[in-house]
Amino acid sequence: MRSVTIESFGETRDERRIVLIRITNGNGMRLELLNLGATVRSIVVPDREGVMTDVALGFDSVKAYEADPLYIGSTLGRVAGRIRDARYAIDSREYFLAQNDHPHHRNGGAKSPLSKKVWNYTLLEEGNGVVFNVRSHDGHLSSPLQNRSFSLPHFTIFYESE
């Protein structure tokens, strides 16, 4: 039987509530997600001998995620990867980004990247998954994008075996 449960995971430094969303299927597979950075905290699946094993890297506290410089399990953005010299051009207009990987820009920057935002979430009506959503305002991290709402595809577990 598939299920989705929600429990408190803690609070951020500025007292925002972080929740752990646990999605399970009838075979014991489990996916754990956080609304902080729309983060994958844990993926538990059977190994070749059928022993349930966590195959994802994750932390046990909000404090550890806030301090994490490597974006473990988190959603990257507004860009993923490195932008050379922390600048780029669109239609002959040049944009400058924060140099958080001097002299380059990496994975959305150090100040409020999507990986550190608290995302909204909606449980699927079928009761077997979740969709994350966050708003990023115009000029956020020096980006020319207008007010944008970023949504991730829903997370569910479909694999079933005997």
% the chain with pLDDT above 90:
36
Count helices and strands in the chain by DSSP H and E runs: 1, 13
Domain that holds residue 28: 3-77+111-156
CATH number at residue 29: 2.70.98.10
% the chain with pLDDT above 70:
76
* Residue 52 counted as domain residue: yes
CB-based burial label for 140 (10 Å; 0-12, 13-18, 19+):
buried
Which stretch of DSSP H or E encloses residue 81? Answer: none
d(CA 93, CA 90): 5
Report pLDDT digits (tens) over 122-137.
888 777 788 888 876 6
Q: How many domains does the chain have?
A: 1
* Residue 88 counted as domain residue: no
* Residue 17 counted as domain residue: yes
* Residue 67 counted as domain residue: yes
* Residue 38 counted as domain residue: yes
* Residue 106 counted as domain residue: no
* Residue 87 counted as domain residue: no
- pTM of the entire predicted model: 0.78
Whether 111 shows a pLDDT value over 80: the answer reads no
